[in-house]
Structure 1
Amino acid sequence: MFLARVTGSIVATQKVASMKGHKLLIVEPYRLDADTRASLVTTGRTFIAVDTLGSGEGDLVLVCQGSSARLTPETKSLPIDAVITGIVDSVHIEKKSVFDRTKEA
């Protein structure tokens, strides 16, 4: 499982039947800044994840990847490798807040 920012969406009008009606989002993984340990920074990669929660562009989310992505009731029969399993409200590292959704612009 990892943290990621939703940066966009995918529209695919042609897809396998089991994927119809599922929202696809582009997510960019984030990690703790190794130097300051006071902020989250991008890893520079992107993934496509199925959204099961109604998250949107700009949200910081939890993403589950690999075979574990198919362990939710909503995704158990889908041919997917990544699923959004949570919308993050805050992140605290060593008693410091490195992310707070209520303080995002």
Structure 2
Amino acid sequence: MQLARVIGDVVSTMKDRSLQGQKLLVLQPMTPAGAASGRPLVAVDSAGAGTGETVFFVRGREASFPFLPDLVATDANVVGIVDHWTVEPETSP
């Protein structure tokens, strides 16, 4: 799982039938320290997240697991909304 901030949403009237009724979000992946990391991506939202929230998401085949036994055409899925997280500071040897 990876952390991300929801930076927007996607509206698409023409899409794969398996995505009908699915909410699509634009995510900006983040480092554990909260800094942006990498390029934004589109993910299906199975957690009910909204713009500005911090979420965790999965990629790859696991992204479709919350929809089983249905098959959903996705490679990224928001599976949780983060309330709080902590990271231990790095120590130098």
TM-score range, shorter chain: 0.7 to 0.9
Counterpart contact for 2:29–2:39, Cα < 8 Å: yes
Match of 1:91 in 2: 85
Sequence identity of aligned pairs in percent?
37
| Unmatched 5+ stretches in structure 1 | 33-38, 96-105
Query: Which structure ranks higher in relative contact order (CA pairs < 8 Å, sequence separation ≥ 6)?
Result: 2
Letter in 1 for 2:34: L
- Greater percentage in strand: 1
| Unmatched 5+ stretches in structure 2 | none
Match of 1:23 in 2: 23
Change (3 A) 1:73 1:18: closer
Counterpart contact for 1:60–1:87, Cα < 8 Å: yes
Q: CA deviation at 1:75?
A: 8.0
Cα RMSD of the aligned pairs, angstroms, is 1.7
Number of aligned pairs?
89
d(CA) in 2 for partners of 1:83 and 1:41?
20
- 1:21-60 superposed matches below 5 A: 21-32=21-32, 39-60=33-54
- 1:65-76 superposed matches below 5 A: 65-73=59-67, 76=70
Letter in 2 for 1:83: N
Change (3 A) 1:88 1:22: same
Which TM-score applies when normalising by structure 2? 0.87
d(CA) in 1 for partners of 2:5 and 2:73?
22
The runs of at least 4 aligned residues of structure 1 exceeding 3 Å deviation read 73-76
